[in-house]
A and B are shown apart, each in its own frame.
Chain A
Amino acid sequence: MDAFIRETALAAPFEGSNVDTDQIIPARFLKVDRTVGYGSFLFHDLKFESDGTERPDFVLNQQPFRHARILVTDENFGCGSSREGAVYALSDYGIKALIGPSFGDIFYNNCLKNGLIPVRLPHDVVAGLREDLLRGPDREISIDLDSQVVTLPDGTLHNLEIDPFWRECIMKGVDEVELTLGYLPEIESFEARYLDEMKWINR
């Protein structure tokens, strides 16, 4: 995972609550290996007509939003299937962070594991922000994980709430499995006692 410390980038408003991971990446693209790159699958069926031409009404097909690196979303973005391909698609496309009032739970965790920063801000702030982005002309947002501050285009500062554990992992680009394997003695002693008490678990 690449480390993330701070990023200032163009943001696009993404309308619609309960955007599920199948909208982010349709199921049929999930069969391929990550090494091929998932960026071109992002929002595929929203982005393209069935004949492969771009749908002009889709936000990421419009100027200047085609170059957005931050998406500002609505409630429960990333709900539905647990497919991590949704995060691969966002990440491989170049999205660095998401700002929304709430995210699908598994999706949120998948973002953290891939260094894509999911930022939760209050519903009203985010709704106003989407309107501001649409209107322009200021559309840059700064996300600073170090100082835990998000700076919106209107200059307002907001607290970036993120669990300190994940914040540190992402800022250092820590490999989580390596980190956990550092706790192997704790895991082993827990397990020895636990499995002795619950013998039926792995007979």
Chain B
Amino acid sequence: MTDHMGDAGSRTKAMFDKIWDRHVVVARAQGPSLIYIDRDIIHEGSFHAFADMKRRGLTVRKPKQMFGTPDHYVPTTGRMIGDAATPEIARMISQFDENMSWGGIRNFGLRDPRQGIVHVVGPEQGITLPGLTLVCSDSHTSTHGALGAIAFGIGQSENAHVMATQTLWQARPKTMRITIDGRLARGVHAKDVILAIIGKIGAAGAGGHAIEYAGAVVRAMSIEERLTICNMSIEAAARCGMVAPDDTTFAYLHGRPFAPNEQDWDAAVSYWRTLPSGDDARFDSEVSIDGSAIEPMVTWGTSPEDALPISGHVPGPDPKADLQRQDAVARALRYMGLEAGTALTDIAIDRVFIGSCTNSRLEDLRSAAAVLDGRRAVVPAMVVPGSTGVKLAAEAEGLDAIFRNAGFEWRESGCSMCAAMNGDFVRPQERCASTSNRNFVGRQGPNARTHLMSPAMAAAAALTGRLTDVRQFMGARSGVQ
């Protein structure tokens, strides 16, 4: 191991800076540096990038460092190309396969057991590793930072640039540390933590920053919970979100298909142990949150920052706020069909969606199933596992049966109703309790109304047909955490 891989500056450097500095190919005194990109994960939206490359006669420089899987447009009702919602979508999926072969890129295609949402597949396959720079032409690429990587979303021009050069010109963001101390109460999950954070700092709160999540709550979290937190960093406008790698990380990665093999494992882990921020590291900004005070959260409006504890009420325009803010609140209420002052638990919902790269992993499904076990949903509901791997693992432990017995549809994996691109959508004016990450106007379908929440809260909402405090289903049964 050479010295720049070692401890130089490790007491005073933040993890982000350590990883960044390790990847600088061409440094410039000001402005962007040329940064080496270790991994690029590719989905169907990449056709612009491939068209661009072909037009210019470029080739994929390091196909072994690229990975492809279709997710945004794939059908969840079956795994044949003919199951696609429209011929146009079927053509996109075939075109994706063609582009992957053209580029010589490993493709976890529609019928591959490794297929899934890019941000579920990366960690699951050990493609995402501590210390890496990882990009994907999708904003929720921040997810992968949960393993201690710098991971961020890019556009298609940048995607082509990475495929052709394995680099990107990037300006160094500022750093922000968000410390969540204390201990989460029962019924409070990673989704509640990140909604509480965005509710506090706002949808633009981390603009221009790389977030590091720290503190006792984060240290105690599993990797899947950390993935949920980092996933929504982009909803606070952050460039990326990350968590320092630790023994939990190493145990999670060990033995995964693309993680270091036995021959490299010890060298990798000893490098990864140098990555966490030093005790004296300085951050451009610091936020702290008392984890013990967080309650189960839901959103009421059309931005993830419109998040409140489930015990709360729909707010009205605040007369003390500026006029534009008042107007924004009024518009959100109109779109959502809500009246100020309504108790959140009085809001009736029309359907439930459990899925998306935020909350579609095995632990998420377990947590929803624990609430549903032996009970019945009173509204239409569906579960879309985040990957085919998650689906198979859930079936192996019988979770599919719990969901089906509760009246849920059990689907094939993909993005599905999160972004409503594949033909699964929420109907106009329908209100959906959703475990996804965006409640934007039209996100789940034209005029669809989305309330974001954890899988356990979505399960509770399915049982009552209203936004519901999941804690009312706890205690009677031992399974519910």
Contact = CB atoms under 8 A, between A and B. Distances in A.
B303 interface: yes
A46 to B, nearest CB: 9
B373 interface: no
B321 to A, nearest CB: 12
Contact of B237 (A23, A105, A113): A105
A177 B36 contact: no
B208 interface: yes
Contact of A80 (B73, B139, B165, B331): B139
A191 B36 contact: yes
B216 interface: no
Interface string B330-368: 010000000000000000000000000000000000000
B420 A27 contact: yes
Contacts, number: 171
A109 interface: yes
B51 A202 contact: no
A197 interface: yes
B88 interface: yes
A104 B237 contact: yes
B435 interface: no
Interface in B414-473: 419-421, 438, 440-443, 446
Given A28-B421, A180-B167, A106 B204 contact: no
A106 B171 contact: no
A76 interface: yes
A202 B34 contact: no
B154 A82 contact: yes
A140 interface: no
Nearest to B38: A201
A82 B155 contact: yes
Given A165-B169, A180-B165, A201-B65, A79 B89 contact: no
Nearest to B136: A82
A163 B30 contact: yes
A79 B25 contact: no
Q: How large is the interface on B (under 10, 10 to 19, 20 to 34, 35 or more residues)?
A: 35 or more
Interface in B217-276: 237-239, 259-261, 264, 267-268, 271
A34 B51 contact: yes
Contacts of B446: 26, 45, 50
Interface of A: 15-18, 20, 22-23, 26-28, 30-31, 33-34, 45, 50, 74-76, 79-84, 87, 102, 104-106, 109-110, 113-114, 127, 163-166, 176-177, 180-181, 183-184, 186-187, 190-191, 194, 197-203
25 contacts: A15-B327, A18-B204, A18-B303, A20-B438, A20-B440, A20-B441, A22-B443, A27-B421, A30-B45, A31-B88, A81-B419, A82-B154, A83-B45, A84-B157, A102-B207, A106-B154, A109-B154, A109-B158, A113-B157, A176-B169, A183-B167, A187-B166, A198-B268, A200-B129, A200-B260
Interface of B: 1-2, 5, 25-26, 28, 30-32, 34, 36, 38, 45, 47-48, 51, 56, 58, 62, 64-65, 73, 88-89, 92, 129, 131-132, 137-139, 152-158, 160-161, 164-167, 169, 171, 203-204, 207-208, 237-239, 259-261, 264, 267-268, 271, 303, 305, 324-325, 327-328, 331, 419-421, 438, 440-443, 446
